[in-house]
Copies of this chain bind each other. A is one copy, B any other.
Amino acid sequence: MAIDPASFEPVYQQLARILRDQILAGELEAGARIGSEGRLAQQFGTGRDSVRDAMQMLRREGLVITRKGRGSFVREPAARVAVLHVGGGTRVAARVPTEDERRDLGIPEGTALLVISREGEPDRLLPGDRNVIEVGGD
């Protein structure tokens, strides 16, 4: 729960990880307000810059939303995924990949992810650089 400035992991990523874990664990519920940038910077002993970078990471992952003059809030998980029923028991979802997925899949920023789901089958992740795939329409 503390920041190690000497760690191999950048400060802002440590901070993002701490907050992400709290959100995914439900300690910070959807709609809950996250401490202000100044407050968090003071609390964790970092610059406000690092807090902003961490927040931005969480915004990109769709976990939080930040409103000017108000603060940052935990987002509804479902609000960041578009789901399409395409027939034949197949669902197609679009979402922004997490940082981990981006690293694992080797895809750059600015690439959306198609998730193709069928009952009883593992999800198929389709990044934007392997485009044009046929899905049986029934």
Partner of A112, one of B78, B90, B113, B133: B113
Indicate if the CB atoms of B87 and A137 lie closer than 8 Å.
yes
Contacts of A84 in B (CB 8 A): 92, 114, 116, 126, 132-135
Indicate if the CB atoms of B135 and A82 lie closer than 8 Å.
no
Taken residue by residue from 96 to 138, chain A's Cβ proximity to chain B (1 for < 8 Å, 0 otherwise) reads as 1000000000001111111010000000001111111111111
Indicate if the CB atoms of A85 and B138 lie closer than 8 Å.
no
Indicate if the CB atoms of B132 and A83 lie closer than 8 Å.
yes
Indicate if the CB atoms of A86 and B129 lie closer than 8 Å.
no
Task: Give A107 to B21 CA distance when docked, in angstroms.
Answer: 24
Q: Shortest CB–CB separation between residue A91 and chain B, in angstroms?
A: 9
Contacts of A113 in B (CB 8 A): 82, 94, 112
Q: Shortest CB–CB separation between residue A103 and chain B, in angstroms?
A: 14
Contacts of A112 in B (CB 8 A): 80-82, 94-96, 112-113
Task: Name A residues whose Cβ lies closer than 8 Å to a Cβ of B.
Answer: 59-63, 65, 75, 78-88, 90, 92, 94-96, 108-114, 116, 126-138
